[in-house]
Amino acid sequence: MQQCITSAQKLVFCLIIFCFSPSLHAGNIPVLRDTAKKSPEQTQAVTQQESISPSPDNTSSSRRPPRPLPPVGKWISSKSVMIMEADTGRELFSKAPDKKRQPASTIKIITGMLALTYLEKIDMMQVSKRAADMPSSKVYLDTNMLYVADDMINAVLLGSANDASVVLAENIAGSEQEFSKLMTVYAKLWGAHNTVCKTASGLTAKGQYSTARDLATIFRKIMQNEDFASRMKQRKVETTFGKTIYNHNKALWRIKGTDGGKTGYTAKARQTYVGQFTRNNQTIIVALMGSETMWGDLKRLVDYGFRKLEHIEYAQ
């Protein structure tokens, strides 16, 4: 009996020492490696996990090379093309980028930007008979009414309205002729040296021209204006005079990463376009002129531009 009590006392004494010993606290107890046998499935899972874990040797140089660049020039109908990186202006692809062509309604990006520069949103606009008689596309303005500048700017940039373009031109410069001179001056200030404007709308006019490089250069510059950029990405707007203006830029819902753009068409110019696109924190500008299959061309060119950036990044 005495021997049993002594053993119990020893056990209690050992437990007391264990609990109060600082070297044996839970945080200081060494973790032993699990040496138990694992099944083949467990071993494979551990091996895969270790291979995924980051290590000093796992650098970006081990990435797979990007897919080869497609021969995009063979698959587009556009006569002139420019793709440039928005941040730097670096050329990513071009096809006859300096060929002078009728720009059609893409030139309205200058009209809209100048209106944002010279007018307040609430300025009231008069409509001349000449403006009201402009051909479609238009918003059918009434010469007996006054319109706010904000509505006219949206009508030009989203709805590509020719009548609203002339209204802005006449209210800013007195006439469309004088306004077109102002457009040409600003185009050169923005770096477009092969652009001459004769109309505020882009309707075909003798002596009027631009290039794919110039359109891309202008758009790259003016998309830095927050008001302009925010308007270009809207799919529709409601006007104060009771009409809904829908954006002609179908790329907003057809092409991933579209920030905004402007379409154009005349029989002489054929299809024209300039726009900005962003994917994976990279932004490009695409301009095309003289196209017969604009939306198909645009999709191929946008995909090509971003894949080209992948090649550049991989090479660096």
Percent share of the chain, pLDDT over 90 = 74
- For the segment 60-110, what is each residue's pLDDT rounded down to a tens digit? 445 677 777 777 777 899 999 999 999 999 999 999 999 999 999 999 999
Say how many Å lie between the first and final Cα of the chain, rounded.
84
Q: Looking at residue 93, what is its pLDDT?
A: 96
Widest Cα–Cα separation across the chain: 123
Whether the pLDDT of residue 136 is over 50: the answer is yes
| Residues 168, 161: Cα–Cα separation, whole Å | 11
Q: 97 near 81, Cβ under 8 Å?
A: yes
Query: What's the DSSP call for residue 65?
Result: P
Confidence of residue 50 (pLDDT cuts 50, 70, 90): very low
Q: Which of 175, 180, 123 is nearest to 153 (CA)?
A: 123
Q: 308 near 297, Cβ under 8 Å?
A: no
The CA-atom distances, in angstroms, between 116 and each of 25, 79, 84, 87, 164 are 72, 32, 25, 23, 14
- Who wins on pLDDT, 314 or 17? 314
Q: Which pTM was predicted?
A: 0.79
Whether the pLDDT of residue 198 is over 80: the answer is yes
* Mean pLDDT (whole number) for 10-16: 47
DSSP per residue, 195-254? -B-S-SS----TT-BB-HHHHHHHHHHHTTSHHHHHHHT-SEEE-TTS-EEE-S-THHHH
Which position has the token pair 């730097």?
A: 88
Query: What's the DSSP call for residue 267?
Result: T
Whether the pLDDT of residue 57 is over 50: the answer is no
Indicate the range of 35-49, 249-263, 270-284, 301-315 predicted with least confidence: 35-49
**CB burial of residue 128 (10 Å; 0-12, 13-18, 19+):** middle
Q: Name the average pLDDT for the chain.
A: 86
Q: Looking at residue 313, what is its pLDDT?
A: 85
Confidence of residue 34 (pLDDT cuts 50, 70, 90): very low
Q: Looking at residue 32, what is its pLDDT?
A: 34
- Could you give all domains of the chain from N- to C-terminal order, each with its CATH number? 74-315 (3.40.710.10)
